[in-house]
Amino acid sequence: MKPEWVRLSGRKTLVEVDVQPGSKRSCVLGFEPWRGRLKVAVRSPPVEGAANSEVVEIFAVSLGVKVGRVSIEHGVSNRRKTIAIKGDFVDSVKALAEGD
Domain residue spans in the chain?
Answer: 6-98
Residue 48 predicted with pLDDT over 70: yes
Residue 95 predicted with pLDDT over 70: yes
pTM equals: 0.91
Q: How far apart are CA 80 and CA 35, in angstroms?
A: 10
Question: Mean pLDDT in the chain?
Answer: 92
Radius of gyration of the chain (CA): 12
The domain 6-98 belongs to what CATH superfamily?
A: YggU-like (3.30.1200.10)
Contact of 15 with 86, CB cutoff 8 Å: no
Residue 25 predicted with pLDDT over 80: yes
pLDDT of residue 2: 52
Angle at 68 between CA 65 and CA 74, to 5 degrees: 105
Contact of 4 with 38, CB cutoff 8 Å: no
